[in-house]
Structure 1
Amino acid sequence: MPNKVVVVGGGYGGSAAAKALDGVSDVVLVEPKEAFFHAVGALRAAVNPEFLPRIFFPYDKLLAFGRVVRDRAVRVEPGRVTLASGEELAADYIVLATGSGYPFPAKTDVDDTAAAQQKYREAQANIDAAEHVLLLGAGPVGLEFAGEIKHVWPEKKVVIVDPVADILSEYDPELREEVRRQLAELDIQLVLGSPLKKNPPTEPGARGTFHVSTASDVDITANIWFRCFGVVPQTAYLTGALADVRRPNGQVAVSETLQVKGQDTVFALGDITDIAEPKQASAANRHVEVVAGNIKALIEGKRELAAYQPGPAAIILPLGPTGGAAQLPGRGIAGPDVTSQFKGADLLTGRLGQLFGVGGV
């Protein structure tokens, strides 16, 4: 009998891991969403309804030999995955790849594709009706979202508020300078170094004019706001022998081989790992190479496993389809031309189409 591998979570890392192990072992991918959600393109989908279908990819052509189970893991322990339906999956190896939650529209927590798309269409209509947009959070999500909004509606006033003193402080000063230059050209206002005294009275993404002020008494009037911070690792399902590897922040303790600490047959990758590096889809893909290679090695009876080494700080930050900046290892700081070559109008949808054997749905 072939070894059974259960991959829990069908995001960037989970889908790629399942694909890499398909045929090498008996793979089951557990994922509650009807289709893969391409979070890299989510912010553009929130402003451009024509782009929206391109961020959903059905799972039915991902695996040639394994299967995808549309369900949610509620208990995971070595050798067994229990689903919300009550089904139990025995596993020789388990890959934890459940990723993280993040406020809408950077991510969606809606499992049904039609319902998720409707939520994005409503957001687009609400932004369209607003004259002033407030974004809370000056990290990559807030900055990218501001650029997408300004590309579609250059006349709108967009304000970004964050208690941090500067943007992108974990990256090189030259990158920050280039991003600030483009934000100024787009007339995007940064209000940094002071939080809001109180959150807006309306729900995020809802229409409704409001007035707020920062702790430093900067007054802001807007018609809509969005929360652009708050990563939450999705690991509440860990039980039994795996309960102790879940850190207080929800991340999972892993060794350099990406095996869960204290476990030989359970691996973790992507956003849920406690590796000190930016939580990006590119990092998850690098994790996949190590995890899939190590599981193959164990199946073949090898004892030497590969170790994962985090790469240098890197980021590709679009500010609309033709803007943005990047910090690339070995290439330094790049401006809009290079950034748009990497992410630009496509936002990597073509590459995902190859992985899933389809175009966007």
Structure 2
Amino acid sequence: MQQRVVVVGGGYGGVAVASALQDDAEVTLVEPKDAFVHAVATLRAAVDPAWQDRVFFGYDTLLRRGRVVRDWARLVSPGVVHLSRSASLEADHVVLATGTGYPFPAKFLEDDTVVARARLERMREGLRQCERVMLIGAGPVGLELAGELTSAFPDLRVSIVEQEDDILPLGQYLPELRDAVRAQLAERRIDLVLGAPLGYLPPFDVGTYAPFTVETTEGEAVTAQMWFRCYGSRPMTGYLDTALADLRHYDGTLPVTEHLQVRGQDAVWAVGDITDVRESKRATAARDHAAVVVANIRDAIAGRAPSATYTAAPERIVLPLGPDGGASQVEQDGRRVILGPEETSRIKGADLFSGATAELFTGGTPHDRGE
């Protein structure tokens, strides 16, 4: 009999593991959403409806063998994934790949694509009425959303509120990167409200048209008609049984070995944002994690000890500001280098890696299919 692999979570790492192992094991992917969400491109889809078809990809085309079970993992223990009181999946290997939660529109709470699409359309209709939008948080998500908003709506004014004294407050970023981004924000007439948090939040849901005025704790007023929260990432690990949950760090991440086994477990693996690997949380990192776990599960199936290890890649940030703007910090020849708008657009800004994602689910890019 084939060994049974249950992958919990259908994000970048989870789909990569499930797809790669489908010929080696009996694979089951557990995921409550009806479609994979290409999170790298969600902020573009938030302002451009043409991008929605490059964000949502149905799971029905992912696996030639194996199956996708559309459900929540209610409780996960080593060797068994409970879907409800009466339904469970036994497993020789459990792969935890549930990622992080993040506020709309970077990620979606909705499990049904039709509902998520409807919310995006209501938000865009509201944006067309807005004169100013307020973003809370000047990290990568807040800055990228500001770039998308001002690219799609050139007359729209944007205010970014950040409690720290500068943009990109977290991360080992060169001053030249912040300088390059600030200059482009100024060109787009984006206002930075730095050095103090808001005293209170607007009394309306994010992404909803409703005029308001709020103040920072320093008394600076911000008036807008829509707002978004661009902070608050949290690992999704609340479904673990007591033995696994007790292993978590204070921030909810799981400790993993160099082989990406959950520490103290031989057949429970973790990939992506829920691991405690010291690196920025990126789709590319999740895919790299998946490759290590795939190799090690294949080793286990063959009766070998795990042979693949994971080493975090040099830190980088590719920060598009719309399709044609942005800046990046990458490592070249052992030193950190700042790239401008054109290079950033070539790396990520124009395509947002949507072609590679489409190929995983459809066997070809949208262009190949004539879309």
User: Whole-Å Cα distance in 2 between the matches of residues 293 and 159 of structure 1?
Assistant: 47
After TM superposition, the structure 1 stretch with the greater mean CA deviation from structure 2, 310-319 or 89-98, is 310-319
**What is the Cα deviation at residue 304 of structure 1?**
4.4
Aligned counterparts, 1:4-153, within 5 A: 4-84=4-84, 86-153=86-153
Aligned residue for 1:196?
A: 198
Closer, same or farther: CA 238–220 of 1 in aligned 2, 3 Å: same
Match of 1:216 in 2: 218
Gaps of 5+ in 2: none
User: Residue 141 of structure 2 aligns to which amino acid in structure 1?
Assistant: V
Is the 8 Å Cα contact of residues 75 and 237 (structure 1) preserved in structure 2? yes
Aligned position for 2:260? 258
Amino acid across the alignment from 2:348: K
SS in 2 for 1:216: coil
Between 198-207 and 154-163, report the one with greater CA deviation: 198-207
Which amino acid is 2:160 matched to? I
**What is the aligned counterpart of 1:320 among 322, 340, 363?**
322
Equivalent residue for 1:289? Answer: 291
CA drift of 1:168 comes to 2.1
From 252, 266, 269, the counterpart of 1:267? 269
Q: Structure 1 counterpart of 2:132, which letter?
A: H
Contact 2:36–2:56 (Cα < 8 Å) also in 1: yes
- Structure 2 match to 1:336: 341
- Residue 240 of structure 1 and its aligned partner are, at CA, apart by 4.0
Query: C-alpha distance in 2, partners of 1:86/1:184?
Result: 57
CA distance in 2, matches of 1:276, 1:164: 23
Equivalent position amino acid for 1:349 in 2: S
Under a length normalisation based on structure 1, what TM-score does the superposition of the two structures give? 0.96
Kindly indicate whether the alpha-carbon contact (under 8 Å) linking 2:321 and 2:349 is maintained by their aligned counterparts in 1. Answer: no
Match of 2:357?
A: 352
- Greater mean alpha carbon deviation, residues 283-292 or residues 88-97: 283-292
Counterpart for residue 232 of structure 2: 230
Letter in 2 for 1:216: E
Instruction: Supply the distance in 2 between the matched residues of 1:236 and 1:202 (Cα, whole angstroms).
Output: 28
What percentage of aligned pairs have identical amino acids? 52
**CA-to-aligned-CA distance 1:26-49 (integer Å, 9 cap, x gap):** 111111100101111111111111
Report the 3-state secondary structure (helix = DSSP H, G, I; strand = E; otherwise coil) of the residue aligned with 1:60.
Answer: helix
- Residue 246 of structure 1 and its aligned partner are, at CA, apart by 2.3
For 1:295 and 1:329, locate their aligned partners in 2 and report how far apart those are by CA, in whole Å: 32
Query: Does the 8 Å contact 2:76/2:239 carry over to 1?
Result: yes
Q: How many angstroms does 1:83 deviate by?
A: 0.8
- Which one is further off, 262-271 or 174-183? 174-183
Tell which deviates more after alignment, 212-221 or 156-165: 212-221
Contact 1:238–1:246 at 8 Å: present in 2 too?
A: no
Q: Deviations over 1:46-78 (max 9, x none)?
A: 111121222000111211211111111011011
Q: Would the aligned equivalents of 1:132 and 1:156 in 2 still touch at CA under 8 Å?
A: yes
Does the CA-based 8 Å contact 1:134-1:224 persist in structure 2? yes
What TM-score, normalized by structure 2, do the two folds share?
Answer: 0.94
Tell me how far 1:201 sits from its aligned partner: 2.1
Please list every run of at least 4 consecutive aligned residues from structure 1 whose deviation after the TM superposition is greater than 4 angstroms. 358-361
AA partner of residue 166 (structure 2): D
Listed as ranges, the gaps of 5+ residues in structure 1 are none
Question: C-alpha separation between the residues in 1 aligned to 2:109 and 2:354?
Answer: 20
Aligned residues: 361
Letter of the 1:154 counterpart: P
Q: How far did 1:348 drift?
A: 1.2
Structure-2 separation of matches of 1:309 and 1:68: 30
Letter aligned with residue 89 of structure 2: L
Q: 1:205 aligns with which of 207, 214, 228?
A: 207
CA distance in 2, matches of 1:345, 1:17: 27
Equivalent residue letter for 1:315:
I
SS of the residue 1:212 aligns to = strand
1:122, distance to aligned residue in structure 2 (A): 0.9
Q: Which amino acid aligns with 2:345?
A: S
| Distance in 1 (alpha carbons) for counterparts of 2:325 and 2:156 | 17
Worse-superposed segment, 177-186 or 301-310: 301-310
Distance 2:205 2:137 in 1: 16
Match of 1:246 in 2: 248
Contact preservation (8 Å) 1:71, 1:84: no
What's the C-alpha RMSD, in Å, of the aligned pairs?
1.5
1:239 shift after superposition: 0.2
